[in-house]
Chains A and B, each alone.
Chain A
Amino acid sequence: MTDRTVTTSVADREARRKEAYFTASQSQLIWARFRKNRSAMVAGIVLAAMILLGLFADFVGPYNPAIAGRNADYTNGAPQIPRFCDDDGCSLRPFIYGTKRERSIATNFRWVTTQDTDDKRYVQFFVRGDSYRFLGLSANLHLFGVDNGYIHLFGTDDAGKDIFSRTLHAIRTSLAVGTIGVVISFVMALAIGGVAGYFGGRIDGVIQMITDAVRVVPAIPLFMALAAFVPDTWSAETRFFFISIILGLIGWPTLARRVRTHILVERNQDYVLAARLSGARPGHIIRRHLLPSFTSYIIVDLVISFPYMVLSETALSFIGLGLKDPVNSLGVMLQNTTSADVLLNYQWYFIPVIFFVTLVMAFVFVGDGLRDAADPYASSRK
């Protein structure tokens, strides 16, 4: 008797699983396929983690990344890794050593920073520190800090600014620039590519010419010209928006071409003709058939364009045409890395690079995974 109940429940589960497959909408199917792709899932988790870090940069980073939060006593300081144990024994709470700066004849009158193993500073969680604004409210809670002094997980730069905090803020800035750029180019691409693809004919021809013209404009000289045009009186924030908008305006042609191709293909599908033969108006066809047909492809295109925006901004800021201090971005941080001194002695300046490589790769893997998962006809053809 128990056997039969066991087998019926297996059969039941099988039937329910099949029914779930039959009633799954397009996005559910895509998600199910995406989930099976392990590298894409891992990349997705990494990406989500980095986005969270960026959003909560003020909270996770212990100090204000600008001059206001600098540690004047520990410039160009090496990273301080918290430890649990040392010669004196272990403790549950992680701690770091304090540092002492001294100068003497022995050191040729150069400031030398040494670790003071007697000065243990315990790491505490949820401490109050520098204040910041979050969603319009003022707050000063930070994820961690030390009971006295500073803690610099990634070390400091030559002004004493904490590199860890700066990295987190840089992630946020780059994501913000990327988002604004992608949104602007997407909106323009959808409108321009959509009109070209839907109406075809001469309108398409004219729009194609304009698109090609914009695409051919070389980016670097354009930016140099625009950078020269930007007045110095503009605040860092204004400059930030300006750069983002410019990136968006340069980026739309590629996306517009993709949108146009998608629409051209979908427009000729039998089911669109069926709708037209029922007397459906263009608005209905666009809303009900065309837009949903390529939403998944557009999401893929967006995710893949993101890293290009981030990298463009990085490159521009690195050569000085993009963002400037005190706004943090990877490009800005990398500006300081071009001296031999840094290369030889202060290698921790390059730690943010790892974060950015990871961010870009995560975007790429997620984008690839989405693209592989998004083909609606993949497994249902005979």
Chain B
Amino acid sequence: MSLLSVQDLTIRFRTEEGLITAVEKVSFDIAEGEILGLVGESGSGKSVTAKSLMRLMGDNAVVDPASRITLHRQGGDLDVLGLRRERDMRPVRGGEISMVFQEPMASFAPAITVGAQMVEQLLIHTNLSRKAARTLSIDMLARVGISDPARRFDQYVFEFSGGMRQRAMIAMALSTKPRLLIADEPTTALDVTIQAQVLELMKELVAEFRMGILFITHDLGVIAQTADRVAVMYLGNLVETGTVRDVIRTPAHPYTKGLLQALPRIDDLDAPLVPVPGDIPGPLDRPEGCVFHTRCAVAISGQCNTQIPQDVTLSPGHAARCHALTKDTP
């Protein structure tokens, strides 16, 4: 069953230099129990997309009226972008949708104990009593693998190590039993051995809670091991979507291909590293037509620099936006 649908999401920001487009016509679905990876480099718009699901974009954001974000639930679908009052947005901020950030040190208040923050989260989103909230929080800390959770409950975040902080943040995010967890670069700041542990934990929790996870990262390796489906973003556009197997084994979009060729692979140490030529254009230099055409080896002059490409379906569930795909099969 589909948990969340995003359709034609377009977000621009008002800045001193003018209106810059951060996200353009992005559409994807997340099903229950599915991990969708959102992959992109700087300027891809992945963080803005994630924040928009929780209505956290900021005052200078201009959302295009054709955009739709729909949270499907039993009691009736929720139009997230249509919410007007702060009060109504509460369920999408920590209730049904919860978020885990990159820098756990920055996400916990330094002067309040970790336990107090977890209890606060529960008191806002559930009807639990303070005592019940405390018990649940300690249980969650144990569930995420933090030893001696009752003692840790009363500690401050600076007393936790990096991996523990991230686990505590996951515990806090999951304590309200959200249906969708947004993880924004959750393991980027962690050591690789700790990262492996946290990724295992997330996969277990998805199976146990039947959540959907939107996993945002720039690391394709993490996606390959953790996600079920992947969406690749470049400069605010979704260029390719599909199952992890399809996209990584048979990438269709030139950017995805370029990314994969630029990655050093442990299993093939002799393969040369082929960088994607050129630089990511700045937000003020957004290319016309297909946003990738300035760096694309197969760009068709006259078409790629004028027309925005549409979705081309390569196989069920695997689509990419590229003019060159309609000419010949990949």
Interface residues of A (CB under 8 A from B): 36, 379, 382
- B191 CB–A CB distance under 8 Å: no
Per-residue A-contact encoding for B3-25, CB less than 8 Å = 1, 0 else: 00000000000001000000000
A379 to B43, CA, bound (A): 14
| Distance of B75 from chain A, by nearest CB (Å) | 41
A134 to B16, CA, bound (A): 46
Report the 4 A-B pairs with minimum CB-CB distance, sorted nearest first: A382-B42, A36-B16, A382-B43, A379-B16
A379 cross-chain contacts in B, Cβ below 8 A: 16
A selection of 4 A-B contacts at a CB cut-off of 8 Å is A36-B16, A379-B16, A382-B42, A382-B43
| Distance of B102 from chain A, by nearest CB (Å) | 14
A382 cross-chain contacts in B, Cβ below 8 A: 42-43
Chain A interface main SS type: loop
A379 to B18, CA, bound (A): 13
Give the A-B contact count at a CB cut-off of 8 A. Answer: 4
| Distance of A382 from chain B, by nearest CB (Å) | 5
A382 to B42, CA, bound (A): 7
A36 to B43, CA, bound (A): 26
A36 cross-chain contacts in B, Cβ below 8 A: 16
| Distance of A66 from chain B, by nearest CB (Å) | 51
A36 to B15, CA, bound (A): 13
Chain B interface main SS type: loop
| Distance of A373 from chain B, by nearest CB (Å) | 12
> Which B residues, 94 to 137, have Cβ-Cβ distances below 8 Å to chain A?
none
Total interface residues on B, CB under 8 Å, equals 3
Name which residue of chain B comes closest to A382, CB basis: B42
B42 cross-chain contacts in A, Cβ below 8 A: 382
Name which residue of chain B comes closest to A379, CB basis: B16
| Distance of A39 from chain B, by nearest CB (Å) | 16
| Distance of A83 from chain B, by nearest CB (Å) | 47
B16 cross-chain contacts in A, Cβ below 8 A: 36, 379
Per-residue A-contact encoding for B42-84, CB less than 8 Å = 1, 0 else: 1100000000000000000000000000000000000000000
Name which residue of chain A comes closest to B283, CB basis: A382
B43 cross-chain contacts in A, Cβ below 8 A: 382
A123 to B16, CA, bound (A): 49
Name which residue of chain A comes closest to B42, CB basis: A382
Name which residue of chain A comes closest to B16, CB basis: A36
A10 to B16, CA, bound (A): 20
A382 to B45, CA, bound (A): 12
| Distance of A323 from chain B, by nearest CB (Å) | 45
A211 to B42, CA, bound (A): 45
| Distance of B270 from chain A, by nearest CB (Å) | 32
| Distance of A369 from chain B, by nearest CB (Å) | 14
Name which residue of chain A comes closest to B17, CB basis: A379
A36 to B17, CA, bound (A): 11
> Which B residues, 285 to 318, have Cβ-Cβ distances below 8 Å to chain A?
none
| Distance of B22 from chain A, by nearest CB (Å) | 13
| Distance of B216 from chain A, by nearest CB (Å) | 16
A182 to B83, CA, bound (A): 54
A213 to B172, CA, bound (A): 47
A283 to B262, CA, bound (A): 44
A382 to B235, CA, bound (A): 13
A379 to B283, CA, bound (A): 12
Name which residue of chain B comes closest to A36, CB basis: B16
A157 to B46, CA, bound (A): 70
Name which residue of chain A comes closest to B43, CB basis: A382
| Distance of B127 from chain A, by nearest CB (Å) | 42
> Which B residues, 22 to 49, have Cβ-Cβ distances below 8 Å to chain A?
42-43
| Distance of A38 from chain B, by nearest CB (Å) | 13
A382 to B43, CA, bound (A): 8
| Distance of B178 from chain A, by nearest CB (Å) | 30
Name which residue of chain B comes closest to A33, CB basis: B16
| Distance of B233 from chain A, by nearest CB (Å) | 15
A379 to B282, CA, bound (A): 12
Name which residue of chain A comes closest to B284, CB basis: A18
A379 to B284, CA, bound (A): 12
A382 to B282, CA, bound (A): 9
A382 to B16, CA, bound (A): 16
A36 to B16, CA, bound (A): 9
| Distance of A29 from chain B, by nearest CB (Å) | 12
| Distance of A32 from chain B, by nearest CB (Å) | 10
| Distance of A379 from chain B, by nearest CB (Å) | 8
